[in-house]
């Protein structure tokens, strides 16, 4: 069973699930791969800081980990 991505997970945790999550983050113009904040920043914090709807981001991320 795949892990469900939640808004309190860090970007680092999400990127470690599979390569497809990185593509989704890039689609939302989130350059998390090279960002030091990815280790500590939650999806909700990052989405809010970048003006992204966290629920939309979660839906797309969870679609690629199923």
CATH number at residue 58: 1.10.3910.10
Query: In which domain, by residue range, is 56 found?
Result: 11-64
Helices (H), 16-66: 19-27, 43-49, 54-64
The predicted pLDDT at position 37 comes to 73
The CA distance from 36 to 56, in Å, is 24
- Is 3 inside a domain boundary? no
Condensed to tens digits (0 to 9), the pLDDT of residues 4-35 reads 999 999 999 999 998 899 999 999 988 777 77
The predicted pLDDT at position 31 comes to 77
The CA distance from 50 to 41, in Å, is 12
- Is 48 inside a domain boundary? yes
H-helix or E-strand spanning residue 11: helix 11-15
- Is 6 inside a domain boundary? no
Band of the pLDDT at 2, cuts 50, 70, 90?
Answer: low
- Is 29 inside a domain boundary? yes
The domain tally of the chain equals 1
pTM listed for this prediction: 0.88
- Is 18 inside a domain boundary? yes
């Amino acid at each position: 069973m795949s892990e469900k991505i939640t808004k309190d997970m860090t970007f680092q945790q999400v990127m470690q699930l599979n390569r497809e999550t990185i593509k989704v983050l890039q689609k939302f113009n989130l350059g998390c791969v090279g960002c030091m904040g990815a280790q500590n920043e939650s999806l909700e914090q990052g989405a809010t800081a970048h003006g992204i709807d966290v629920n939309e981001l979660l839906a797309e991320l969870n679609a690629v980990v199923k």
